[in-house]
Amino acid sequence: MAFLEVENYRKKFGENEVLKGISFSLEKGEVLAIIGSSGGGKTTLLRCLNFLESPDEGTLSVNGETLFDAAEKKQYSDAQIREKRLHFGLVFQQFNLFPQYTVFRNITLAQTLLAKGEIRAKKRAFRAEIRALPATARKARKAEQKQELVQLSGGLKERIEARALQLLERVGLLEKKDSYPYQLSGGQQQRVAIARALALEPDILCFDEPTSALDPELTGEVLKVIKGLKDTESTMIVVTHEMEFAKNVADKVIFISDGVIEEEGEARELFENPQSEKTKAFLRRSLEEDFE
Ligand SMILES: Nc1ncnc2c1ncn2[C@@H]1O[C@H](COP(=O)(O)OP(=O)(O)O)[C@@H](O)[C@H]1O
Ligand SMILES: [Mg+2]
């Protein structure tokens, strides 16, 4: 079984069937590029993988664990969905940083919230433990618990902050840690968004046209960061219009057209030797646009 398995994903909006049975798999550490014309369903597919939309049919598994099975017809609770979503990270076209927070806080925020949840759970467990103790033993144990909580929250904070600094370094923005998003270029904002997505250590990091909102001179720095992640064994799915990037960085490529996988294959093979007429026409058009 592959690390990521998507089986027969289907999604309708009203009468409009946007995904018409999408199946693919990906191994750990592989990079998948998804290409295709606008309106073909690429964003919808990423949103389904990230539990922002619920497919009408299909199954999804990561690392052998079934995360979604439409046949179960289950209504997941918000907490369950949040937990499932943690397997994936998503970097949007429009960065979506929190404008009111510094770069550093943008990166640490989600982890800090998770840590707070962890501490609350620990406190609950501690209270239950105290209730079960004989009255005479409670005071001493409470004092110990207090100490343990201080240690736990200090440890979590330290780990979160150290990781944020490490990620900022990786995307080349350590010196911007106290800046606000409006003080950064689009390329820098997108690099922060990448660090933020990585902070939660997703199994699979997804990008939805990460450079298409950027001026051409800024796309290179973002693509370079994504390319660099490949060396860290990150498993990635990148929806992109950058054909050269897809060809050089991706292991596999999927061409989506009208909600179906029209063609898929090893990256070089698909670009150099496309089989379907639709793929050929699409690649020809992309090439022409590059020269406009
Ligand atoms: N929330 C939504 N409600 C209704 N229609 C949607 C919604 N999201 C996407 N669509 C439709 O789904 C189709 C595919 O869109 P999308 O997944 O954004 O394609 P792509 O990313 O390949 O350009 C489009 O026809 C779009 O209008
Ligand atoms: Mg899209």
pLDDT in tens, 9-28: 999 999 999 999 999 999 99
pLDDT in tens, 141-177: 999 999 999 999 999 999 999 999 999 999 999 999 9
What is the number of the ligand 1 atom nearest to the C-alpha of 259?
14
Instruction: Give the residue whose CA is nearest to atom 24 of ligand 1.
Output: 39
Q: Which of 9, 10, 17, 18 best tests ligand 1's pocket when mutated (most atoms within 8 Å of CB)?
A: 18
Contact 258, 36 (CB under 8 A): no
The SS3 assignment for 284 reads helix
Q: Which atom of ligand 1 is nearest to the CA of 41?
A: 17
Mutation test residue for ligand 1: of 9, 12, 16, the one with most atoms within 8 Å of CB: 16
Q: Is 240 in the pocket of ligand 1 (CB under 6 A)?
A: no
Tell me how far CA of residue 20 lies from CA of 38, 264, 282, in angstroms.
Answer: 16, 16, 20
Residue 44 beta carbon below 6 angstroms from any ligand 1 atom: yes
Which of 47, 69, 57, 42 has the alpha carbon at shortest distance from 12? 57
Average pLDDT over residues 90-105: 96
Q: Determine the Cα–Cα distance for residues 49 and 27; give it in Å rounded to an integer.
A: 16
Ligand 1 atom closest to the Cα of residue 256 is 22
CA of 277 from ligand 2 middle (Å) equals 23
For 229, list phi and psi in degrees, rounded to 5. Answer: -65, -25
Mean pLDDT of 135-140: 94
Residue 278 host element (H or E): helix 277-291
Give the Cα-Cα-Cα angle 103, 86, 249 (nearest 5 degrees).
Answer: 75
Instruction: Please say if the pLDDT value at position 232 is more than 90.
Output: no
Distance of CA 47 to the CA centre of its chain: 10
Both tokens of residue 1?
């079984």
pLDDT tens-digit profile of 53-77?
Answer: 999 999 999 999 999 999 887 788 8
Q: Is 224 helix (H, G, I), strand (E, B) or coil?
A: helix
Q: Which of 9, 12, 44, 46 has most ligand 1 atoms within 8 Å of its beta carbon, as the pocket-test mutant?
A: 44
- Cα 43 to ligand 1 centroid, rounded to whole Å: 7
**Residue 289: pLDDT over 90:** no
pLDDT of 292 strictly over 80: no
- Residue 59: which residues within 8 A CB-CB, separation 6 or more? 5, 6, 7, 8, 66, 68, 69, 70, 71
Q: Which of 284, 277, 283 is nearest to 33 (CA)?
A: 283
Give 291's pLDDT tier (boundaries 50, 70, 90): low
Ligand closest to Cα of 207 equals 2
Lowest mean pLDDT among 21-30, 71-80, 198-207: 71-80
Does the C-beta of 38 come closer than 6 Å to ligand 1? yes
179 in Cβ contact with 106 (< 8 Å):
no
Q: How confident is the model at residue 127 (pLDDT cuts 50, 70, 90)?
A: very high
- Write the burial class of residue 155 (CB in 10 Å: 0-12 exposed, 13-18 middle, 19+ buried): exposed
Q: How do residues 233-256 score in pLDDT, each as one tens digit?
A: 899 999 999 999 999 999 999 999
User: Atom of ligand 1 at shortest distance to CA of 46?
Assistant: 17
CB-side neighbour CA atoms (13 Å) of 231: 5
18 lines ligand 1 (CB under 6 A): yes
% of the chain with per-residue pLDDT over 70: 99
Distance, CA of 144 to CA of 94 (rounded, Å):
47
pLDDT at residue 231 greater than cutoff 90: no
Q: Which of 243, 290, 249 minimizes the C-alpha distance to 271? A: 243
Q: Is the CB of 15 under 6 A from ligand 1?
A: no
Q: What is the mean pLDDT of residues 281-286?
A: 94
